[in-house]
Amino acid sequence: MILANENFGKLQASYLFSEIAKRVNAYQTANPDASVIRLGIGDVTLPLAPACVAAMHQAVDEMADEKTFRGYGPEQGYAFLREVIAESDYRARGCNISPSEIFVSDGSKCDCANIQELFSEELRVAIPDPVYPVYVDTNVMAGRTGEAVNGRYAGLHYLESTAANGFVPPPPAEAVDLIYLCFPNNPTGATATGKQLRAWVDYAKANKALILFDAAYEAFIRDPEIPHSIYEIEGARDCAIEFRSFSKRAGFTGIRCAFTVVPEGLKAYRRDGTEVCLHQMWNRRHTTKFNGVSYPVQRAAAAVYTPEGLSQTNAQIDYYLENAKIIREGMQALGYTCVGGDNSPYIWVNVREDSWAFFDRLLHEAQIVTTPGAGFGSCGEGYIRISAFNNREKVIEAMGRIKAALTR
Ligand code: PLP
């Protein structure tokens, strides 16, 4: 008899974005002429930068010629990409990361879901609330939680990110083993200072814990005081894995390329206290279950680091950040307290009422789609997330409509 993984039965009924899609579709069916503006799901809207497109075209031409054709590439990624990542994203910032510690993949979503395969089922897992839903749901699927009660799974340690702690939770008083951190944060847009990250690194080292640091939005950091990488904190090589993605940094959501940094000295422990090397484990896992990102996509990713690629992709991020500023200032002018939107594409707005009710109000009265904070966890109740990924005209129009609806 084929037994099912019953942990799937614990997953809470509706995945956030399918519930949003259901409500938007119902509204659109009832109001076919309404022009809905989507500031909900965090997908990019600008096309690929010309430098990336040119590199990809050239790579496709190479694939069309017998002399330059390439079949399977190295599972961990081509050296040309791993080298430029190690140099530009890490060594240039004083982080001692070598190309062999970079694992190129087809997305941070898969990486932060798959990494937990390396760890025991009994780990005590700490997850921020509110949170990118993938961290929670993949741990539920893996059997690391009990049932959900009032929106929280038994067995998980929730790191509450609230206005009181500036949306950067401090390390807990008790010991946890696996810690998910995401800065700049999705959904709150908050960033962590070097001092705040230092506290987490010290905690992880003291507790033989591991930090999974999701830096998918790193490219939006503009404040020179904010660390771009957990490895800017001394000692983080001994207690942290970092996830980065080209999705938001260079508009790769549709062509897929990301990477994970697993330092060579990083350890986990067997039950008898002896050490195992996480870098070797991840290398084994990656090469066994993954066959590499396509050559043209890796060439496009490497083109991000050329002078033209950097200037074109940075201009795209500046464009989204300008959208974010318009949204944040618009909501603040209406009397709402906001975080994010300065070093992040997300603005987290304190709406002071039920977040799904506010979502419905903006959908029905302004035809604007946002994301209700409650969908990201209990601490998201009373908030909505507005995304800056859209074109300027639509953002300006959306803010006009929101103003009209909320001051009516
Ligand atoms: N991590 C966070 C916090 C995200 O918000 C997202 C995408 O929205 C991802 C990871 C996934 O990125 P990728 O497109 O590389 O899978």
Q: pLDDT tens for residues 154-173?
A: 999 999 999 999 999 999 99
**How far is residue 121's CA from residue 144's CA, in Å, rounded to a whole number?**
6
Q: Assign residue 130 a region: left if phi > 0, alpha if psi is -120 to 50, beta otherwise?
A: beta
pLDDT band at 377 (very low <50, low <70, confident <90, very high): very high
**How far is residue 175's CA from residue 173's CA, in Å, rounded to a whole number?**
7
- Whose tokens are 């998201």? That residue is 380
Domains identified in the chain and CATH numbers? 14-43+308-406 (3.90.1150.10), 53-305 (3.40.640.10)
Rg, the chain, Cα only = 21
User: 20-75 pLDDT, tens per residue?
Assistant: 999 999 999 999 999 999 998 789 999 999 999 999 999 999 999 999 999 999 99
Distance of CA 111 to the CA centre of its chain: 11
How large is the average pLDDT for residues 136-155? 94
User: 67-97 pLDDT, tens per residue?
Assistant: 999 999 999 999 999 999 999 999 999 999 9
Say if residue 213's pLDDT is above 90. yes
pLDDT at 104: 98
Sequence-ordered list of residues with C-beta below 8 angstroms from that of 274, at least 6 positions apart, any chain: none
Contact between 118 and 277 (Cβ < 8 Å): no
**How far is residue 221's CA from residue 324's CA, in Å, rounded to a whole number?**
13
Considering only CA atoms, which residue is closest to atom 8 of ligand 1?
42
Of 387, 290, 397, nearest to 340 by C-alpha is: 387
Question: Which residues sit with their C-beta closer than 6 Å to ligand 1?
Answer: 42, 107-109, 132, 182, 186, 214, 216, 245, 247, 253, 258
Sequence-ordered list of residues with C-beta below 8 angstroms from that of 115, at least 6 positions apart, any chain: 212, 241, 260, 282
pLDDT at 4: 95
Sort 25 into a burial class: Cβ within 10 Å, 0-12 / 13-18 / 19+: exposed
Give the mutation target among 45, 136, 214, 247 for probing the ligand 1 site: most ligand atoms within 8 A of CB.
247
Q: Assign residue 37 a region: left if phi > 0, alpha if psi is -120 to 50, beta otherwise?
A: beta
H or E, element range at 23 = helix 16-30
pTM above 0.95, yes or no: yes
How large is the average pLDDT for residues 205-212? 97
User: 113-130 pLDDT, tens per residue?
Assistant: 999 999 999 999 999 999
pLDDT at 35: 96
> Over the chain, what is the mean pLDDT?
96
pLDDT at 18: 85
Say if residue 151's pLDDT is above 90. no
pLDDT at 14: 61
pLDDT at 408: 83
Q: How far does the centroid of ligand 1 lie from the alpha carbon of residue 216, in Å?
A: 6
pLDDT band at 13 (very low <50, low <70, confident <90, very high): low
Q: Which atom of ligand 1 is nearest to the CA of 246?
A: 15
**How far is residue 54's CA from residue 392's CA, in Å, rounded to a whole number?**
26
Q: Which atom of ligand 1 is nearest to the CA of 247?
A: 14
pLDDT band at 150 (very low <50, low <70, confident <90, very high): confident
User: 245-293 pLDDT, tens per residue?
Assistant: 999 999 999 999 999 999 999 999 999 999 999 999 999 999 999 999 9
Q: How far does the centroid of ligand 1 lie from the alpha carbon of residue 75, in Å?
A: 21
Say if residue 175's pLDDT is above 90. yes
Considering only CA atoms, which residue is closest to atom 4 of ligand 1?
216
How large is the average pLDDT for residues 303-320? 98
Half-sphere exposure of 152 (CA within 13 A, CB side): 15
Percent of the chain with pLDDT over 70: 99
Sort 310 into a burial class: Cβ within 10 Å, 0-12 / 13-18 / 19+: middle
How large is the average pLDDT for residues 394-401? 98
Sequence-ordered list of residues with C-beta below 8 angstroms from that of 348, at least 6 positions apart, any chain: 167, 187, 188, 189, 190, 338, 339, 340, 373, 383, 384, 385
